[in-house]
Amino acid sequence: MNIHSISTQPFTDQKPGTSGLRKQVPVFQQRHYLENFVQSIFDSLEGYQGQTLVLGGDGRYYNRQAIQIILKMAAANGFGRVLVGQGGIMSTPAVSCVIRKHQAFGGIILSASHNPGGPEGDFGIKYNISNGGPAPEKVTSAIYDRSKAIEGYKIIEAADRDLDKLGSSQLGTMTVEVIDSVADYAQLMESLFDFDRISELLSSGKFRACMDSMHAVTGPYTHAILQQRLRAPAGTVINGTPLEDFGGGHPDPNLVYARDLVEILYKENGPDFGAASDGDGDRNMILGRKFFVTPSDSLAVLAANAKLVPGYSAGLAGVARSMPTSQAVDRVAAQIGIDCYETPTGWKFFGNLLDAGKATLCGEESFGTSSNHVREKDGLWAVLFWLNILAVKQQSVEQIVKEFWQTYGRNYYSRHDYEGVETDPANTLMANLRSKMSDLKGQKFGEYEVEYSDDFSYTDPIDGSISQKQGIRIGFTDGSRIVYRLSGTGTKGATLRLYLESYEPDSANHDKDPQQALASLITIADEVAQIRTLTGRDKPTVIT
């Protein structure tokens, strides 16, 4: 095996965010850039020699080239086997599934999730550990520290592997096994859900569904599972062919970027059920006919109906949500007598709770929901969970959600995203808010009185680790909340996220438009943070 040791110098911008390292494609295409980061991952690990690595991505531009580089570096660094998805394709939850099933040492996922793709679009890379979940902060910190001091990387000289043909080949002393990207994941889904009942629903001719894969990674999964195994009619899956630029679209399953699906579901006599997934398949949006289900409500509805689903019929150990996610699921947990954990944003914070058996279902308001079956968000899993509930209850999506509100009350909730804000004004806004925190308690803003204000800090109940400055919260005496965060998932400027929540127990008041119900809080949020003044934006980029 001809191993080359290539001299290099550190890049200063390789600090992983909440979901790995994300940059624009031309940044990753710089000489040594990807190689430096991959070597920094390997140098930060111990005991992987001879072990199995899982490798796959969402099919975006530069995915195939990056896989060839990583394979040659894995061989040079001593891995014994790499399981790589056919065509270089593997959804993020499927990578987690394969790591866990095959007891792999870890995995590398190539994705920038819901960010746009193409030659000038975004690219990303992250490392997942042996439980199938994203690397915790102690690992990503070690990777970053190594990237600042790296002087070289190892790579073998060899021909590229054929990623499209299933089977094994040798790359030096390492085995490269190209696997069916869908098989292991589909088997896991069938163990959790009543496929026969869902199939009866989808093939009955009385129920119509539409699944928008947004020309992203879930296309092969939805075709194989929904249309083949579950007998949904041809055409149920739209935009089902993965493309390097996602067909020129923005693979983010929300009301703005999944416009094709929204228009279909809001037509007269539209389908009964609609869903969309994102670039790497870990997010989901759920729609009924002319009815949008917020991700927060979706998590709560799944928790409230979990016993209807075979894989969860024994009950839930607990639930967990990210701090900005609405408190709807908290009310479910309280009623059925289980714990509800509030964590920072970032799926890695759920890993310890899931591993310790403290939580079964987890969710984030950013269209991510999952359970202890893997250690990642799982968009198609959420779709199948909903379909299983619909098959059992024989109600519409709207009826199920409104029945939930009748029982638990409605948490009016919305997220306002200000994307691509200049970094300095965004940081100034957050700094100004932090300086006000100690003085807000007791202040009145119209009918609202501040009960507490803080910068959310989380102490992990399993390992005791502390995460600070995770979002600024302003809570009011009636249970309403305003939350401000700067997101770490973009590659240009900063994304300011504003979260608004108000609880309404009276079912007579459950039919308001969320923006109308939250209008006073929206005004207060701008008044306190001076969003318009500091960002120059008179409205959000996206409202969900």
Catalytic amino acids?
113
CA 111 to chain centre: 11
Q: Which 3 state secondary structure label does DSSP give 124?
A: strand
Residue 508: how many other CB atoms lie within 10 Å = 6
- Both tokens of 187, joined, read 């088997």
Distance CA 242, CA 76 (A): 31
How many helices (H) and strands (E) in the chain?
18, 27
Distance CA 376, CA 258 (A): 22
Distance CA 511, CA 73 (A): 56
b or e along 12-31 (b: 16 or more beta carbons within 10 Å of the residue's beta carbon)? eebebbbbbbbbbbebbbee
Residue 96 Cα distances to 53, 103, 404, 447, angstroms: 11, 10, 31, 47
Distance CA 378, CA 385 (A): 11
Judge whether 209 and 236 are in contact, CB under 8 Å.
yes
Q: Maximum distance among all alpha carbons in the chain? A: 73
Residues 6+ positions from 263 with CB-CB distance below 8 Å = none
Q: Which amino acid is at 379?
A: G
Q: Which amino acid is at 242?
A: P
Judge whether 272 and 288 are in contact, CB under 8 Å.
yes
40 φ/ψ angles, rounded to the nearest 5 degrees: -65, -35
